[in-house]
Amino acid sequence: MATVNKFVFDKFASEAHRAGASDMHFQTGSPPYFRIDGDIVEIKYEAITEDDIDQIANTVCDDAALEALREGKAGAIDRSYRVGDSCRLRVSIAKCLEGRKVVCRIIPNSVPTIEEYDMPRVFESIALEKSGFVLVGGVTGSGKSTTIAAMIEHANRNLRKHVVTVEDPIEFVHEPKRCIFTRREINHHLVHFASGLRNALRQDPDIILVGEMRDRETMRAAIQAAETGHLVFATVHSAEVDDIPERVIGSFPEMEQDQIRSQLANVSLAFIAQNLVKRKDKKGRIGAFEILIMNNAARNMIRTRKSHSLPNIMQTGSDQGMITMTQYLVGLYKKGIITDKSLIENSSNKERAREAILDETGIEVSQAAFTK
């Protein structure tokens, strides 16, 4: 019977990292699984046992977390764990119908850069701004943290600033170059995102990273931090740029929404939505981005409840670094980086995507061709 102890657990993580996996899954009664290029892949290994899950928990949890799990005070525990020189893990241990499940998000020790990941160059300009609110949206696993880490790394290489991060748990760990860093983790160094943000303002910060905006008090504190002259980065679960402001505003009671709408319009610097798309050459995935740089027209649309019209601004704002998701995907398709199927499936404007395929190949396609 297999036993997952610290050494074997580290080996699993190292192998997953080498394989390019984004996540590992361990569940009682099932073999391990890796997520590679968005797909769940079974690993040839014996079924995971309760003892194996205990060994993983003992490896990554402190005494307080273990007690909470044992006594039923917590149905789930999130922790970070470092695996030698290869990677870090964001570990979630949760109770489920099948028993217990451990899911580990794999975070490389090497911090991503804008150049390395071939990100839009406008991200460099955003990273060097003095103040403003930068919101990065996307579904879980779409690379939001990687994008923000790359922008913060650009600041780290070019500015002399103090960066404060409030995360659950801490993900990318930047080596100080020109910036200095203060990293705080929920449950280890503070209790809530909102209180951590309020405290961060007393730490003489220049740049603040909010790992995730989960509630209205965190959103309120992040907006106030941007209002007081800081550059604030945060993530939200929104797949399209025009949904980002409404997702934030809609989290507040109706009586507060007009005020929040005005504040958000005033302090926002950029909204970014992103996805990861499989490459045509089958060598992993590539980021696809939708970018809105706030200008007077965009601010006015948010104030007047016309966020649904923000794509019109992005379509015509290429000189400012703006782009829609469809425009970005069409660019990847024309360069031969993604397939016509990926273009259609990931585009928010299916008709424009089909037009691009027709222009490039002379072949007229319908959505039905890619739904078989």
Buried b (16+ CB within 10 A) or exposed e, 254-265: eeebeebbebbb
Q: Could you tell me where the DSSP H helices lie in the chain? A: 6-18, 50-60, 63-70, 122-127, 144-158, 193-200, 216-227, 243-249, 254-267, 296-303, 310-315, 325-334, 340-346, 350-361
β-pairing, 231-236 with 207-210?
parallel
Using the predicted structure, report yes or no on whether residue 254 has a pLDDT greater than 70: yes
List, for residues 164-217, the tens digit of each pLDDT value. 999 888 889 999 999 999 999 877 777 778 888 888 899 999 999 998 888 899
List, for residues 95-148, the tens digit of each pLDDT value. 887 788 999 999 988 899 999 999 999 999 999 999 999 999 999 889 999 999
Using the predicted structure, report yes or no on whether residue 341 has a pLDDT greater than 60: yes
**Closest alpha carbon to 243 in 325, 315, 169, 178:** 325
List, for residues 30-41, the tens digit of each pLDDT value. 999 999 999 999
| Torsion of Cα atoms, 10 then 11 then 14 then 18, to 10° | -170
Class of domain 6-108: alpha beta
pTM comes to 0.88
3-state SS assignment for residue 261: helix
CB 338 within 8 A of CB 278: yes
CB 83 within 8 A of CB 283: no
> Can you identify the CATH homologous superfamily of domain 122-323?
P-loop containing nucleotide triphosphate hydrolases (3.40.50.300)
Residue 282: pLDDT band by 50, 70, 90 thresholds? confident
Question: Structural domain boundaries of the chain?
Answer: 6-108, 122-323
Using the predicted structure, report yes or no on whether residue 20 has a pLDDT greater than 80: yes
Residue 334: pLDDT band by 50, 70, 90 thresholds? very high
Phi then psi for residue 185, to 5 deg, are -120, 135
**Closest alpha carbon to 220 in 241, 243, 242, 201:** 201
Amino acid at 302: I
- Range with the lowest mean pLDDT among 131-140, 286-295, 354-363? 354-363
Using the predicted structure, report yes or no on whether residue 3 has a pLDDT greater than 60: no
In this chain, the answer to whether the domains covering 6-108 and 122-323 adopt an identical fold is no
